[in-house]
Amino acid sequence: MYRTSLLLLICSTLSFISLAQPASRLSSDLFHQHRGGTNNTMERLYSNSSLKKEITIAYLGGSITNMNGWRNKVDSFFRADFPEFKFRFINAGIPSLGSLPHSFRLQRDVLDSGRIDLLFLEAAVNDHVNGTDSLTQVRTLEGIIRHARKSNPYIDIVMMSFADPDKTKDYDEGRIPVEVINHELIATHYNLPSINLAKEVHDRMRNGEFSWEKDFKDLHPSPFGQQLYFNSIQSLLTLDSLKPIFVLSRIEPHLLPAPLNPTAFERGKYVAIGKARKDTAWTINPDWTPTDGLNTRKGFVHVPMLVTTTPGATLKLPFKGTAVGIAIVSGKDAGIIEYSIDKGPFRQIDLFTQWSKSLHLPWYVLFDGSLKRGKHTVQLRVSNNKNPNSSGHAVRIVHFLVNE
């Protein structure tokens, strides 16, 4: 059964091709790997089953997900094509966040809201910008998939790699970007559909269809770029719907293979700041807001925060798990933290980032991701040293991070 969107897609594509200068416009399907597809979602949408006609779609990503654009168009696509369904859309996009934050916030920001039927996941741009190392990318991306599938074995997941100038340069020089490699590695192992928009943007530019400077303009895409992203996503969803006949019996749980990495963060969660055993130099501000005029991110302002500006301030956090870290906001006065796990040697991490002068940036710091399962204690203290560009020693903790 052909739906409105399919007809519109065919008509608009034919129209575009007829107007194109060369008739060699690349197909979005060249940049898709359908693998297991979105069969459970499409089965529910297209079959005449007695299942309750309610579907929840979640978007987990950074600023490109959070901003108005492709995500809103996907929402409209589903509403227009399936008016008999009640859709619930969860925008879990937060600017600056990549796969490391996603793996620890998945439970609170997505799964705690109830059953999720379809999840769109993107992290390739921020994983690169934030300098997330390759091993951590594998641990976090795999952890997200396993966590989501253990929460709901029927959930369909679409992985997406968005474009940025560095990825375009990689492709120009014959390299596949590390972030794309890791997204595809995880998608292949878990039989997930994936969309390589980084490659699609590169290849279409080199095909003479548009330019970055005049059309796409930024890694936060222009309206032109947002439409391109949506068209590609819609193409994958539409082709996924072109199955011979959908039958109810095909709604089935996804297989969960053995993990690629046994230290994947599949039990990532936030631990409340009130769990810390702190000295008197720390205070909990129940409704933290900046007083220096810097910008903030949603979810990291007007929230409780564990704060100190005092060198030498200490705290301890007992926990059980294989990984531990902190989620902070890093402003222009961000300090240097020293940490020790299980009375081991202290190591330093500078909390001041290249963006700290203009933004209280949400920043996720992983202390260790390879601990033995069991009980541990992490001790933190504020260093007497500071980054020469920082105006202070502030440490503002929003959440502790633990993979149980």
Place of tokens 């006065």: 333
Measuring CA to CA, which residue among 310, 325, 318 is closest to residue 280? 310
Give pLDDT, residue 243. Answer: 55
Crossing angle of helices 223-241/39-46, nearest 10°?
80
Average pLDDT of 324-346?
98
Which residues, other chains included, contact 192 with Cβ-Cβ below 8 Å and sequence gap of 6+? 35, 36, 145, 157, 158, 159, 186
- Which pLDDT does position 5 carry in this prediction? 44
Q: Count the Cβ atoms, other than its own, within 10 Å of residue 200.
A: 22
Residue 14 has pLDDT above 50, yes or no: no
Lowest model confidence (mean pLDDT) among 16-25, 95-104, 270-279, 382-391: 16-25
The pTM (predicted TM-score) of the whole model is 0.91
Average pLDDT, the chain: 92
CA distance 209 to 215: 10
What local confidence, expressed as pLDDT, does residue 13 receive?
42
In the chain, the domains with their CATH numbers are 21-250 (3.40.50.1110), 268-403 (2.60.120.260)
* Per-residue confidence (pLDDT) for residue 44, from 0 to 100: 87
